[in-house]
Homo-oligomer: A and B are copies of this chain.
Amino acid sequence: MEPTGIIGSSVPRVDALEKVTGRTVYGPDLKIPRMLYGKVLRSPLPHARILRVDTSRAERLPGVSAVATGNDLMVRYGLVIQDQPPFAQEKVRYIGDPVAGVAAVDPDTAEEALGLIKVDYEELPPVFDPLKAMEPGAPLVHEDLGSYWTVPVFFPAPGTNIANHFKMRKGDIEQGFRDSDFVTENIFSTPMAQHCPLEPHVSIAKFEPSGRVTIWSSTQHPYSVRREMARVLKKPINHVRVIVTCLGGGFGAKVLLKLEPMCVALAMKVKDFRPVRILLTREEEFYASVVRHPTITTIKAGVRKDGTLMALKTQIVFDTGAYADAGPVVSRSSGMSITGPYRIPHVWADSYCVYTNKPVGGAFRGFGVPQLMWAMDSTMDILAEGIGMDPLDLRLKNALEEGDTSVTGQILHSVGIKECIRKAADAIEWGKKPGKYYGKGIGTLYKMTQTPSSSSAFVKMNEDGSAEVLSSTVDMGQGSATVLAQIAAEELGVQVSHVKVVSPDTDVTPFDHGTASSRSTFHMGNAVKQAAADAKKQLFEVAADQLEARPEDLESRGGFIYLKGSSGKGTPISAIRMGVTYGKGKPIIGRGTFSVPDATPLDQETGQGTFPSIFWLYGAQGVEVRVDPETGKVEVLRVSAAHDLGRMINPLNCEQQVEGAVATGVGLALLEEMVIENGKPVNRNFRDYRIPTSMDAPAVDAMFVEAAHKDGPYGAKGVGEPALAPTAPAIGNAVYDAIGVRIKDLPITPEKILKALKEKKGENK
């Protein structure tokens, strides 16, 4: 049945009222009876052998229930590479590495006990620079890398600090450069940055006498947490329950495992089955959760005079810090997007994920694509200038189209990039030259989604036609509960207020791969749609009998069942006897599973493969800036953002996703950088680390291109991540347009601009 107006409608968020009235219970608000407070002792050294940990005084402190160290839960976890212990074993690898934990009756006692733990270290030579870390003879962060279990699509190099090396080889790279009329090679970099969710990470673990354990956690990945904790605890998976608390933001910081292993290690040691909570302080959130990978990208590109892109040679190095976490995924994702949304016949790219003795790099809205696009879309403008072509024309000339083959060999479908570029350019009046010190720039986006991956859902219908959706998608503020409610309501033919989407809990909500990679609307949307269709089928079977019709002749909308094509008034669903009281019928319960078809892994040596991603996201953004040549300050005057998300389910929600991501993008372009000195995080609070406030957030003109995807629910793809990536290159290109200097190292600070202006002046003399 065609959508009836729920899909594509900006229905209010289902959780709005609770949130704006302050009644939402976030993870840190949760109090489990008899809960103990856990605190973590962290390494003061970037790299050192642990000689001895003496916890005896801490254990004797009244009010302390348990002290745990690396000797307690002697395991390593990691969903991609199993390289991380709950508490450090043998050695510490960064300043902030957990060495011991205390569970006590209150946070002060726990903190006091930390001070009583004595740790003897033997310092080891650290390595901070990822390029140096890749050199032979560099100090090894993980001597045993070769013995770690690794997901087989990743390729660590034992005996080095390389946690993953993703290779992309296509065409003949040298021939490509020979065929080019203009070649440019540059080095771009992005800094370490913080996700800064308003809610810090929190986890609570509680054991039962039977050995079962319940974990409440601010996680985007409940099923991953459960599987991994069951594995390390050597329990059947059904003995571990993960209940997701309401998240106050995630942005990738809360994917995979975070505090859960430490919480469990502490809770295991508590003798009277009291639950143990660990809640990060804001300071810990900065350096001891995860950060955005700093990157160093060497990029060489060649173009013909007519604007045909010919060759791209890239080396992008992701500094993952002390542990792999999502690093290998991020670097791989980046590698698969290496060309941006452009056709390039000859490509040679290496994407590295490298260990150093620094804070741990994790997933960050965009999975490595923002870092890549910074280099790629800056390069596009350099190429355009090199051949004297308008950067807009260069982009349009080389932009991918429906049916094109991607760099990996995939035939592309649902490709809205050209329309995005045009819309974004039009909206900032591209071609209309602005005044002095004003500039315009364009950036783009090309991003895969986690493939293969699966989502499942249940839909239960109540006897009044209202329903519950059981899904493990985590609504961390992005509005997934609203979107899934819309999809279920549309499919069932009921009002959105009559659908409740329940919060993820691995005991009851069925499997989902995880809330990340802009995959929920597509994957879980499909699962919910299917589950709702299954429920509707059952409803119609019951209704057909009662209405003396055939099930296939029925349709439902607005809570009523109609005979197809009849003009009669419908029968309210509440009048259908679902067998839940005295009478006929039977309860209505639907199930749905969306599973991406099998994908052949990409070839290790060439990165070639026909199905690396079920869908690709495309987008383009234009910005206009003004640069103050006296202060070096960049003012973002306007941002146009055009994104191909397949189909809008909730336009207002889509706009909000774009606005939020653009604001973060502006912060990353202009303001944010975690400063690490000799491994030590220097700025670790909101005074010293500046994120954009609502006053800094620019006006965003969000626009959408609906290149419907044949497998998406109502054609939808996703929109969680895209608007972050194009922001920085668009700003960088606009700054160049304004004042003729190109900053290659983010963030674009006033100091860098003043310095560049000064150098340029010197050159011009």
Contacts and interface: CB of A to CB of B under 8 A. Distances in A.
A580 B586 CA distance: 32
A580 B230 CA distance: 15
A489 to B, nearest CB: 11
Interface size class of chain A, counting residues whose CB lies under 8 Å from the partner chain: 35 or more
18 contacts: A17-B209, A21-B209, A23-B273, A223-B580, A236-B462, A452-B579, A452-B583, A456-B460, A456-B587, A458-B591, A502-B508, A508-B508, A508-B509, A511-B578, A511-B589, A584-B598, A586-B595, A590-B591
Interface stretch (A48-56, A353-361, A493-501): A493-501
A659 interface: no
Interface stretch (A164-172, A183-191, A464-472, A719-727): A464-472
Please classify the interface of chain A as helix (H, G, I), strand (E, B), loop, or mixed, using the class held by over half of its residues.
Answer: loop
Interface string A593-622: 101001000000000000000000000000
Contacts of A587: 454-456, 510-511, 593, 595
B589 A591 contact: yes
A652 interface: no
B238 A499 contact: yes
Interface string A235-253: 0111100000000000000
Contacts of A500: 212, 238-239, 507
A507 B502 contact: yes
Contact of A237 (B212, B464, B598): B464
Nearest to A579: B454
Contacts of A586: 454, 593, 595
B511 A508 contact: no
A409 interface: no
A460 B510 contact: yes
A153 interface: yes
Interface centre among A30, A505, A587, A595 (most CB of B within 10 A): A587
Given A458-B591, A468-B508, A508-B509, 16 more contacts: A18-B209, A23-B273, A151-B581, A236-B462, A237-B463, A238-B462, A238-B466, A238-B467, A238-B468, A239-B466, A454-B580, A454-B586, A456-B589, A511-B587, A586-B595, A587-B593
A230 B583 CA distance: 20
Most buried by B among A33, A452, A589: A589
A590 to B, nearest CB: 7
Contacts of A508: 468, 470, 502, 505, 508-509
Contacts of A210: 17-18
CB-based closest 4 A-B pairs: A586-B595, A238-B466, A511-B587, A237-B462
A374 to B, nearest CB: 28
A8 to B, nearest CB: 23
Contacts of A458: 458, 470, 510, 589, 591
A486 to B, nearest CB: 15
A397 interface: no
Contacts of A239: 466, 500
Contacts of A583: 452, 598
A31 B208 CA distance: 18
Interface of A: 17-18, 21, 23, 25, 29-31, 33, 151-153, 208-210, 212, 223, 227, 230, 236-239, 273, 452, 454-456, 458, 460, 462-464, 466-468, 470, 497-500, 502, 505-511, 513, 578-587, 589-591, 593, 595, 598
Q: How many copies does the complex hold?
A: 2
Contacts of A589: 456, 458, 510-511, 591, 593
Contacts of A505: 508
A468 to B, nearest CB: 5
A506 B153 CA distance: 41
Given A23-B208, A509-B508, A464 B230 contact: yes
Nearest to A458: B458
Contact of A579 (B25, B208, B498, B595): B595
Contacts of A584: 452, 598
Contacts of A209: 17-18, 21, 23
A30 B33 CA distance: 8
B510 A236 contact: no
Contacts of A212: 500
Contacts of A499: 238
A591 B591 contact: yes
Contacts of A463: 227, 237
A23 B153 CA distance: 44
A507 B598 CA distance: 33
A270 to B, nearest CB: 12
A4 to B, nearest CB: 19
A17 B587 CA distance: 34
Contacts of A581: 151, 227
Contacts of A456: 460, 587, 589
Given A238-B467, A591-B589, A580 B513 contact: yes
A650 B23 CA distance: 46
A208 B593 CA distance: 32
Nearest to A596: B579
Contacts of A153: 582
A364 B151 CA distance: 58
Contacts of A464: 230, 236-237
Contacts of A595: 579, 585-587
Contacts of A466: 236-239
Contacts of A498: 236, 238
Nearest to A227: B463
A38 B134 CA distance: 67
A189 B471 CA distance: 54
A455 B587 CA distance: 7
A497 B498 CA distance: 37
Given A468-B507, A508-B508, A452 B582 contact: yes
A505 B463 CA distance: 16
A233 to B, nearest CB: 12
B23 A460 contact: no
Contacts of A509: 508
